[in-house]
Structure 1
């Protein structure tokens, strides 16, 4: 299974878990309602105790938060709609740099092969026809046998070196993609937890002394949402560095 499919599965998991927010909204409404009652009563009592006019505008805050709780899926969808273009943009940048890196890598391999084919001393390392041609041109004298053995050894060493290089290249790419998948998995887990507990956080923020709960939830949600874009940006920079190194070698 490709890593892109796994990322799609994680996005589908996040979407499938969103209905759980509605289940928490009922509990959040009760908490917010009680908190709004205490909040409004305390503000009105303080104004009456100080013989001041009642400021109605701050009293609207609990009702606004209550509306957000009632339509929390819409609120969450709005936040995701604002942030999702950033994720898509960074992913497009990564795909573009990866495509360029693969193209330059293929171009480098072709130029390296052509350069070795132009030299009779190295052509047999990359061409079977040239290798067979040089072997057939030799006789069975001790000197030719030594030369033939050396050619076989050098050709084997070159093939092994190329195989090891390709192996480590694929291994690093696999680890790179696996790290991105791990980050996306942890990110999805935290986003699901924050989304499910979002109505509760909104409700608690109605209570006096817990007003910062709302801003903390929004801050945490945005920061977790940006984990994947930051990872893609880091990957894009590394891919760009590899492109510049390959261009320098070409």
Structure 2
């Protein structure tokens, strides 16, 4: 599954549905025009009743909002997206560089781990068929060696079984990790589409006296939701950097000929669990950058999901730690 293609699909979906905001502009023009009529009439009547000169500058506000409604996709959305797009591209480039370095280091580490196990006579036959056949030839087929040969086959089978389970669990966590990022991106795209299509209505309602804050709230919510993807990319880049540092440390340790590698990848699994839980904190961090309200129920659901995921992750981490502890005691 190409996860990048799914993210590109969501971006294409947003671009294709963006023109629908122009259809709402027709309804919004009527609402804004009626609101402008009452707004201007009220301000003029208040000035005349107080025998004060009419201040023309505040009366220009409905006309400015009307122009934004008429050219909403280009003036409003085009301007905001053009300003925020470099932030998305910058964080995405940062993530791509970190992931590329991580993949190269992971390949180097896997090669060094195999070489380290081949150097050790006690583990060489576990990863190499040639070494396994060579050790069988050394033992021969005498009745006294049948027990040792049976033990070799059992150890080789247990090693392959544990490796298969470990790889399956690692792939499962990687799928959940990518799925968490895709959930955030999907919800972000849905919110942006709704805000974009209904944006002209929000602008039109803000013309009415007493609803001026609707315009500010729409802007803050749109920018806050738009920042979800850059923040998620920064979080992924941070995790990739941490994993790169861990792999670099393992590579330095593998340079020692006497070092026997541990192929459990426990630290990698723990950071994958942290990443899955951490993705659900992206909306909260975006709210720190720019304050936006109106998503209380969603945030409560996100916090509840993150709490449940954290409990599951804690149970899984405890099981892994218990497995490691049992192996150490057996040794």
Short-chain TM bin: over 0.9
Equivalent position of 1:216 in the other structure = 217
Spell out the pairing of 1:9-24 with structure 2 (5 A cutoff). Answer: 9-24=9-24
Residue correspondences, number: 250
> Within 5 A, what are the aligned runs for 1:1-250?
1-74=1-74, 75-250=76-251
Rounded to whole Å, the distance in 2 between the matches of 1:94 and 1:171 is 21
CA distance in 2, matches of 1:79, 1:248: 43
- Deviations 1:195-235 (Å, cap 9, x if unpaired)? 11000010111110010100100001111111122222222
For structure 1, the 5+ residue unaligned runs are none
Looking at structure 2, the residues matched to 18 and 122 of structure 1 have their Cα atoms a distance apart, in angstroms, of: 59
**Displacement after TM superposition at 1:236 (Å):** 1.6
Deviations 1:43-75 (A, max 9, x none): 111111222111111111111000000100112
CA–CA distance in structure 2, aligned partners of residues 142 and 238 of structure 1:
54
CA distance in 1, matches of 2:37, 2:125: 87
Relative to the length of structure 1, the TM-score reads 0.95
Q: Give the drift of 1:14.
A: 1.1
Name which of structure 1's ranges 35-44 and 151-160 shifts more when overlaid on structure 2.
151-160
Which stretches of structure 1, 4 residues or longer, exceed 3 Å deviation after superposition? none
Q: Any gaps of 5 or more consecutive residues in structure 2?
A: 252-331
Range with bigger deviation, 35-44 or 228-237:
228-237
Q: Distance in 2 between matches of 1:246 and 1:165?
A: 18
Measure, in 2, the Cα distance between the counterparts of 1:116 and 1:4: 35
- Listed one character per residue, the Cα deviations across residues 111-155 of structure 1 (whole Å, up to 9, x for unaligned) are 111111112222111111111111012222333111111111222
Higher CA-based Rg? 1
